[in-house]
Structure 1
């Protein structure tokens, strides 16, 4: 190597550690215009961009496009932090593209429910959230994977994926609002026929179940929101697996009412299983899988494991240490 080249290489600054404070010049905001109400409001995105600073650049993305290509484009453009602007589905997609990279990810909550962002203690006001991101710090976390698919909050089999199918039809007609999302639950319950048969293997121990829903959680915030047990399990870096009890429509409505009132109880309404490694076999060739509000048909059995590589996630400076969601 020539002397000038050696001097140039020595003068190149090392990339900042993701753990450092995030007062960065170059920030990429990836927005999903198909998320909830705020994401459709251009004024909200413009105000959030102003709060992120002059170095912020907006990238548009939709679920039909390749999120990995969008993230790579932002990184090639020099982004030092990626901000996922949208709902839980958008955050999950960006997380999958950044998993294992030494680039911090932040979430600007512009979706319908924003469970992951709320678990990070971020305001649902775009400007307040953007300011908290700018002053925040990045911490490494492990995320869940099912058949290779990253998820941040939960993945499930049974009636919840069917609710998501009904929700898409209702959203198309009435728009994305929380009350509309709740109506999709009622509509799906009325069509319920019978619980599924399922074989569950948790850390090598196998059991048989008949259940309308199995819910694999990685979000302590979401469990606390509904008054469900399992936050301690997640704090131990494991999956909290909730196996719902109920074989009739009446059972489902009763369980839903107890969830709304935060009165669902382990043993009566669901069983709680702790697992670091989990396999669910539906006995069918394929089944509908839900993950962070998205869904698709996948081959059974379903294998759940924690990611080996970390995801560097930005939390507000005053947020508690540990697993953020």
Structure 2
């Protein structure tokens, strides 16, 4: 990790739509009262922050606002960086990056007290957009420093945090292809969409799954099981499950098992907001979801892929950590 002091510019190495799930504390809507010093944990490789010019602009913005900047050299540094920030008394601790970075900071921060701030620097920024955060970095940083205090709910898959969604099956394969495409084309939404087409055309594996939702068992075959806890991304692609999430449940979408080319066609229907429940996917919803498959599988959470042995237990953790969000009047404007 690399640490930049916004106070004196020196640096040193050190080892280190109002969405459901947020509750507003109206007693704390006073602006500009930042009792503790803030820090930002930055993922240099996140979408908009990955080029030199954008990275320099981010550091300058943080320095101008008196925010300590902590650079991650590798994802494995995340937990240590958060622990050291907590020990130094930073509050809020700002996650500067894409959804994967914000998820990592959230996981490391749970149960430790300081408020989470969000500076979205990723390609899609679904989580930040679900909070109503502005896309402009300076305005988003202002929310992290002076916004309303609220609480954040998140999901867990076998104890690992996710903020938007987690899935097993084909989507993890898409992310693997996406990283290769990013290396050649750079990070962009167009490259991300193209990776879906490439992956669906070349990779297909149907999974036999036993899915238990709030005690009710469902047997099915599907290439992917996608569990969402925020409505924003589903609404953007005109997928069902929004009402279920707003009712405090998780939404599980499983694609129909109909072969590689039909899966590709259905992916295209999602892009063009034409996918339909029953015809293209199955929707289940509940507060507890368990998925059993025959062997360990790749899984993905908030755009980052990993490996994990099943069974996969999805749980919703309500009002789990404090977070800074826009003031209500800002979202109404």
TM-score in terms of structure 1 length:
0.87
> For the residues of structure 1 that align with 2:286 and 2:329, how far apart are their CA atoms?
27
Determine the structure 2 residue equivalent to 1:298.
308
Cα deviation, residue 139, structure 1: 1.1
Q: What does 1:190-269 align with in structure 2 at a 5 Å threshold?
A: 190-269=201-280
Determine the structure 1 residue equivalent to 2:59.
46
SS of 1:100's equivalent in the other structure is coil
> For the residues of structure 2 that align with 1:273 and 1:28, how far apart are their CA atoms?
40
Structure 2 alignment gaps of length 5 or more: 1-24
Cα deviation, residue 103, structure 1: 1.6
The question of 1:162 aligning with 2:170 is answered: no
Cα deviation, residue 148, structure 1: 0.8
The question of 1:20 aligning with 2:28 is answered: yes
Measured at CA, do residues 103 and 222 of structure 1 come closer, stay the same or move farther in structure 2, by a change above 3 Å? same
> For the residues of structure 2 that align with 1:179 and 1:224, how far apart are their CA atoms?
20
Determine the structure 2 residue equivalent to 1:61.
72
> For the residues of structure 2 that align with 1:19 and 1:263, how far apart are their CA atoms?
44
Structure 1 alignment gaps of length 5 or more: 1-16
The question of 1:137 aligning with 2:148 is answered: yes
Measured at CA, do residues 113 and 208 of structure 1 come closer, stay the same or move farther in structure 2, by a change above 3 Å? same
The question of 1:311 aligning with 2:324 is answered: no
Measured at CA, do residues 260 and 175 of structure 1 come closer, stay the same or move farther in structure 2, by a change above 3 Å? same
Determine the structure 2 residue equivalent to 1:13.
none
> For the residues of structure 2 that align with 1:101 and 1:77, how far apart are their CA atoms?
12
8 Å contact from structure 2 (residues 38, 145) kept in 1: no
8 Å contact from structure 1 (residues 100, 309) kept in 2: no
8 Å contact from structure 2 (residues 169, 298) kept in 1: yes
8 Å contact from structure 1 (residues 189, 252) kept in 2: yes
> For the residues of structure 1 that align with 2:329 and 2:271, how far apart are their CA atoms?
27
> For the residues of structure 1 that align with 2:121 and 2:105, how far apart are their CA atoms?
14
Determine the structure 2 residue equivalent to 1:272.
283
> For the residues of structure 1 that align with 2:60 and 2:206, how far apart are their CA atoms?
47
Q: What does 1:118-129 align with in structure 2 at a 5 Å threshold?
A: 118-129=129-140
> For the residues of structure 2 that align with 1:97 and 1:193, how far apart are their CA atoms?
34
> For the residues of structure 2 that align with 1:129 and 1:136, how far apart are their CA atoms?
9
RMSD of aligned Cα (Å): 2.1
Cα deviation, residue 174, structure 1: 2.5
In our comparison, the structure showing a higher alpha carbon Rg is 1
TM-score in terms of structure 2 length:
0.85
SS of 1:145's equivalent in the other structure is strand
Deviations along 1:139-164, one digit per CA (max 9) or x if unpaired, are: 11221000110000000111110001
> For the residues of structure 2 that align with 1:177 and 1:194, how far apart are their CA atoms?
27
8 Å contact from structure 1 (residues 82, 104) kept in 2: yes
Cα deviation, residue 47, structure 1: 4.4
The question of 1:86 aligning with 2:112 is answered: no
Measured at CA, do residues 319 and 48 of structure 1 come closer, stay the same or move farther in structure 2, by a change above 3 Å? farther
SS of 1:227's equivalent in the other structure is coil
Cα deviation, residue 138, structure 1: 2.0
Q: What number of residue pairs does the alignment pair up?
A: 302
SS of 1:307's equivalent in the other structure is strand
Cα deviation, residue 86, structure 1: 0.3
Q: What does 1:176-195 align with in structure 2 at a 5 Å threshold?
A: 176-195=187-206
8 Å contact from structure 2 (residues 41, 95) kept in 1: yes
Cα deviation, residue 308, structure 1: 6.2
